[in-house]
Amino acid sequence: MPKITIDARTIDVPKGTSVLEAAQLLGVYIPRYCYHPRLSVSGNCRMCLVEVEKAPKLLTACSTEAAEGMVVRTDSEKVKAARRDVLEFLLINHPLDCPICDQAGECGLQDYYMDYSRAKSRFPAEDKVLRQKRRALGPHLVLDNERCILCTRCVRFCSEVTKTSELEVMERGDHSFIDLKEGKALDNGYTLNIADLCPVGAWTSRDFRFKQRVWFLKKAPAVCLGCATGCLMEAHYNDNTIYRLVPRPNAETNTWLCDRGRMTYKAAAAGDRLSKGVIKNGLIDLEPALREAATRIDEAKDAAAVLGSPWLSVEDNAALALLAGGMKTENYCFDFKFETGIADGILVNKDPSPNAAGAARVKAASGGLNFEEFLARLSGGKIKLVLTEARAAGLLKDALKASGARLIVFANNRGEIPAGAYATLPYASYFETPGTFINYQGLERRTEPVVQAPEGVKPLWQVVNKLSAYSGASLRLDSAEDALKGLDKK
Amino acid sequence: MENILLREKVADLQSYFACGGYRALKKALALKPAEVIEEVKKSGLRGRGGAGFPAGLKWSFIPKDAPGPRYLVCNADEGEPGTFKDRELMLKNPHALIEGMAIAAYAIGAETGYIYIRGEFTAECALLEREIASARAKGFIGRNILGSGINFELHLHRGAGAYICGEETALLESLEGFKGQPRLKPPFPAVKGLFASPTVINNVETLAAVPAILEKGGEWYAAIGTGKSTGTKLFSVSGPVNKPGVYELPLGVTFRDLLEKNCGGMREGTRLKAVIPGGSSTPVLTAEEAWAVKLDYESLATAGSMLGSGGVIVIEEGRCMVKLLQVLARFYHHESCGQCTPCREGCGWIEKLLNRLEAGRGTKKDIDTLVSVAEGMLGRTICPLADAMAMPVISFVKKFRSEFEAHAAGNYCPPDAPVKR
């Protein structure tokens, strides 16, 4: 454990720790562009130069290993001058187009300029090296080579994380630029991480570009429900609209976020968002839709069935379990067995649903059929009506068709409604209501409401509560937690 | 004294052998590798590529017990403006290099060696290929050298024209097939060099001096020179002198002797104005400084410059220093690899400032900017290319400021003497 002194404060660090990381442990921030904790060290930006006692030159903190007795200064005049100079070098050929740059407000050049430089430009505009502007590369990104500081984070991400190596620095000197390698396309499924990694406005997201100035955005923690990995993320929103999802790096699951996961916010604000009930193909108000659904459920008696959903939170599955209890039917199931594990070596899970483990917890408390038994009963004609969530209904597809059982589903969007559904009831998405999800590792994660649901759209447990009132098996739930408590009592 | 390196009529194996060639290799193979290194340490031989690092010490950095292969690489990517000694040496005495490499490889335990040669050296390449083949045919290199059980395979690798590949780690990258860009150090090549294995990289001239050291002894070699700067050095002299060319002289020779005794003095009608003593990247000396200086590592450092590669560029009165620096800046701007910020951006900026001054569009402020840009680059990059640009800029402006100011004032030709053409 080498003992290192940084700005007169001493710390023991594990062998192999860099000066930059050691400083971070002490709460001393050393500015950096090319350094990223999850990428290899390239030492090219020279922003993290620090003064090390006995070293004749300034050293890059990112690539210098902390050694026993090392004495480092990050705030000396020499270091400050180096930072000013490096920033000036980075800015001479930069277009300084902040007013029209989407990165403004979260730009490493802007931030460090304010923190470490504030020098006047000495470089005539007509001398600037011109490069290619705004080029769409891949389905999600736009590249502006003129704004690029050649830190190579994007190049290293593609070679080290996705191992697809689409990008490279072409040419040399001050005319070098980032480009796609010949014959490659930038569509590795993780490309939007490049927009996050890029410390400047060179890589921007095609989806997010010009939608919102970042200083207007508010941030809320969220969990990705795109698959069983359950990545932690952060939703950036303003004025009741989510504008983008970015990773919330954590040791358990993710540093990054996949492109598909980042787009999951779109459904909440999509044009086909349901705010009313649907009976057959016609929209009707929620109350009559609930009444109709309740009538059909009562009618089916013990041939009615409830299928939980691995796409719903633990609370909402619990509410469905309570409803099944009130309906006095044996036909309910919270059993979903998917193969789990990381499918692509990065983040995407073999299990496409976010909460099979959460449903299993409900099953443990409430019992119920195995999925195979449920399917057998459905195919065997013992089930005449199925109440479930839209995507879970997809798991029954053939059996449903064969048995001709009535299907009542909960759905967020019209596009989710399975063909042949008898009734559809809208519910609030998990960007609008809290919920607990358990990922494939058994980690419990909670989503928090980021935006408000469309008017009249309620969380699923509330819809279930109302449905229970209409059907005469009233649950009287006051909160999502009530559903969990009710389940515990069972 | 007799030349050690630049000898006549030894360009083929037969004549080299007839003059006692490859005796040193035989002698070395009878010693333990550590004894060979000890002999080279004793000689005081220092790297002739520019940095002047003691060669024996460099060899001893190879970890003794590291598993896996080690490599010996000869840096023959001679590209420093004003330097043309390795080229001459390879043409005249290729077997000194081949023998030197075989000895060095034995000393560090390398079974494979590479000569990374500048791509434009087509004649040198052809000659080396031929001589390597004949040395292999005679069993001086290859498998089981001279029946000793020691193997050393030597390959010639041609560069593709980038100055940066003369920087040792960029050279390794290039040799491995990657884009020639310098690596971060540490790890140093002695620990993790070519193909992530322990590697020694030496200049042509350094390796070519090894056979003589082994044959005649380290002490003999150390007796030549100044005591700290030992042995002979090749000086490539260019500029308006009567006999420009490559000269082998003991280190510590005065510049005056080099110029007047060897190069036949300044060409008629010209007078010395300045000297760049060690290749284009070393700080310039005024005539007054040059007349007083001895050419060895220490004396030149004391004079504020460097021995560098020994590329002596002689500059006559009437020559425009702004124009000269502009030419150098164009070169470094063109050759900067672009990997790290200060060099990538700074070299271009310096060239643009000099273009402006040279064209008579510059200002006094541009001169200050020029120096501060150079100072901003100095010592802050991965490799010394930025320093190679910054050092001449700082020294040119410091020593010839009046010329830069005259340009800024609009009189953009040298004020110190009328130009004779």
Answer whether A86 sits within 8 Å of B341, measured CB to CB. yes
B414 — pLDDT class (breaks 50, 70, 90): low
The pLDDT assigned to A281 comes to: 85
* Residue scoring higher pLDDT (B373 or A482): B373
Distance, in Å, from the CA atom of A22 to the CA atom of B40, rounded to the nearest integer, reads: 41
Domain end position, chosen among A89, A117, A145: A89
CB of B335 within 8 Å of any CB in chain A? Answer: yes
B412 — pLDDT class (breaks 50, 70, 90): low
Answer whether A93 sits within 8 Å of B337, measured CB to CB. no
DSSP codes joined into one string, B344-355: HHHHHHHHHHHH
- Nearest CA-CA partner of B117 in B133, B97, B134: B97
Answer whether A60 sits within 8 Å of B184, measured CB to CB. yes
Domain end position, chosen among A89, A110, A141: A89
- Which chain B residues in 143-162 lie under 8 Å from chain A, judged by CB atoms? 162
Q: Does residue A471 have a pLDDT over 90?
A: no
B5 — pLDDT class (breaks 50, 70, 90): very high
B151-174 per-position pLDDT tens digit: 999 999 999 989 999 999 999 999
Continuous segment of H or E residues that includes residue A243: strand A241-247
The pLDDT assigned to A243 comes to: 97
Q: Is residue A322 part of a domain?
A: yes
Distance, in Å, from the CA atom of A247 to the CA atom of A223, rounded to the nearest integer, reads: 9
pTM recorded for the entire structure = 0.94
The pLDDT assigned to B420 comes to: 42
Distance, in Å, from the CA atom of A327 to the CA atom of A323, rounded to the nearest integer, reads: 6
| Backbone φ/ψ region at A184: left (φ over 0), alpha (ψ -120 to 50), beta | beta
Cβ contacts of A402 within 8 Å, gap of 6 or more: A379
B381 — pLDDT class (breaks 50, 70, 90): very high
Q: Does residue A80 have a pLDDT over 50?
A: yes
A66 — pLDDT class (breaks 50, 70, 90): very high
Three-state DSSP state, B391: helix
Angle between helix axes B385-399 and B321-335 (nearest 10 degrees) is 170
Least CB–CB distance from A173: residue in B347, B369, B376: B347
Share of chain B above pLDDT 90, in %: 93
B319-359 per-position pLDDT tens digit: 999 999 999 999 999 999 999 999 999 999 999 999 999 98
| Residue range A148-165: mean pLDDT, rounded | 98
- Nearest CA-CA partner of B237 in B283, B279, B286, B207: B279
Q: What angle do CA A448, A452, A454 make, to 5 degrees?
A: 135
Q: Is residue A409 part of a domain?
A: yes
Distance, in Å, from the CA atom of B398 to the CA atom of A390, rounded to the nearest integer, reads: 79
Answer whether A174 sits within 8 Å of B379, measured CB to CB. no
Chain B CB contacts of A86 below 8 Å: 341-342, 376, 380
Which CATH number do you get for residue A24? Answer: 3.10.20.740
B291 — pLDDT class (breaks 50, 70, 90): very high
Distance, in Å, from the CA atom of A2 to the CA atom of B184, rounded to the nearest integer, reads: 22
- Nearest CA-CA partner of B393 in B330, B344, B339, B338: B330
The pLDDT assigned to B418 comes to: 46
| Residue range B43-66: mean pLDDT, rounded | 94
Range of the domain at A411: 277-488
Strand order in the sheet with A218-223: A218-223, A232-238, A241-247
Which CATH number do you get for residue A284? Answer: 3.40.50.740
Share of chain B above pLDDT 70, in %: 98
Chain A CB contacts of B348 below 8 Å: 93, 129, 173-174
Q: Which residue has the tokens 């789990």?
A: A340
| Residue range A462-473: mean pLDDT, rounded | 90
Give how far Cα A65 sits from Cα of A41, A320, B119, Å: 12, 56, 37
Share of chain A above pLDDT 70, in %: 100
Least confident of A88-102, A466-480, B98-112, B225-239: A466-480
Share of chain A above pLDDT 90, in %: 93
Continuous segment of H or E residues that includes residue B236: strand B232-238
Compute the half-sphere exposure of residue B332: CA atoms within 13 Å on the CB side of its CA. Answer: 32
CB of A45 within 8 Å of any CB in chain B? Answer: yes
- Which chain B residues in 48-77 lie under 8 Å from chain A, judged by CB atoms? none
Q: Is residue A53 part of a domain?
A: yes
Q: Is residue A433 part of a domain?
A: yes
Number of domains in chain A: 2
**Tokens read off for A315:** 């609370």
DSSP codes joined into one string, B91-128: HH-HHHHHHHHHHHHHHHT-SEEEEEE-TT-HHHHHHH
ipTM here:
0.94
Continuous segment of H or E residues that includes residue A242: strand A241-247
Distance, in Å, from the CA atom of A415 to the CA atom of A442, rounded to the nearest integer, reads: 31
The pLDDT assigned to B417 comes to: 46
**Tokens read off for B149:** 């059980």
CB of A174 within 8 Å of any CB in chain B? Answer: yes
- Nearest CA-CA partner of A147 in A86, A90, A105: A90
Distance, in Å, from the CA atom of B19 to the CA atom of B10, rounded to the nearest integer, reads: 8
**Tokens read off for A410:** 């909960």
| Residue range A387-397: mean pLDDT, rounded | 94
| Radius of gyration, alpha carbons of chain A | 28
Q: Does residue B415 have a pLDDT over 70?
A: no
Whether residue B32 contacts residue B293, with contact meaning beta carbons closer than 8 Å, is answered with no
CB of B261 within 8 Å of any CB in chain A? Answer: no
Q: What is the end-to-end Cα distance of chain A in Å, rounded?
A: 54
Domain end position, chosen among A43, A65, A89: A89
Q: Is residue A391 part of a domain?
A: yes
Distance, in Å, from the CA atom of B79 to the CA atom of A435, rounded to the nearest integer, reads: 67
Q: Is residue A387 part of a domain?
A: yes
Whether residue A241 contacts residue A451, with contact meaning beta carbons closer than 8 Å, is answered with yes
Instruction: Using CA coordinates, name the residue in chain B closest to A78.
Output: B376
Mean pLDDT (chain A) is 95
Q: What is the end-to-end Cα distance of chain B in Å, rounded?
A: 38
Residues in chain A: 490
Distance, in Å, from the CA atom of A376 to the CA atom of B346, rounded to the nearest integer, reads: 75
Q: How many CB atoms lie within 10 A of CB A442?
A: 9
**Tokens read off for B254:** 């005065």
Q: Is residue A383 part of a domain?
A: yes
Instruction: Using CA coordinates, name the residue in chain B closest to A177.
Output: B338
Cβ contacts of A380 within 8 Å, gap of 6 or more: A403
Mean pLDDT (chain B) is 95
CB burial string A170-197: b at 16+ within 10 A, e below: eebbbbbbbbbeeebebebbbbbbbbbb
Please list the residues that pair with A143 across neighbouring strands.
Answer: A135, A203
Q: Is residue A184 part of a domain?
A: no
* Sequence-separated contacts (24+) of A413-418 with Cβ below 8 Å: A413/A267, A413/A270, A413/A272, A413/A273, A413/A274, A414/A272, A414/A273, A414/A274, A414/A278, A415/A270, A415/A272, A416/A390, A416/A391, A417/A278, A417/A390, A418/A390, A418/A393, A418/A394
- Nearest CA-CA partner of A90 in A41, A36, A34, A37: A34
* Sequence-separated contacts (24+) of A445-448 with Cβ below 8 Å: A445/A223, A445/A230, A445/A232, A446/A223, A447/A222, A447/A223, A447/A225, A447/A313, A448/A220, A448/A221, A448/A222
| Residue range A457-479: mean pLDDT, rounded | 91
| Radius of gyration, alpha carbons of chain B | 22
Please list the residues that pair with A51 across neighbouring strands.
Answer: A73
Q: Does residue B76 have a pLDDT over 70?
A: yes
Q: Does residue A472 have a pLDDT over 90?
A: no
**Tokens read off for B306:** 């460097």
CB of A173 within 8 Å of any CB in chain B? Answer: yes
A490 — pLDDT class (breaks 50, 70, 90): low
Answer whether A44 sits within 8 Å of B340, measured CB to CB. yes
Q: Does residue B140 have a pLDDT over 70?
A: yes
Distance, in Å, from the CA atom of A355 to the CA atom of A309, rounded to the nearest integer, reads: 8
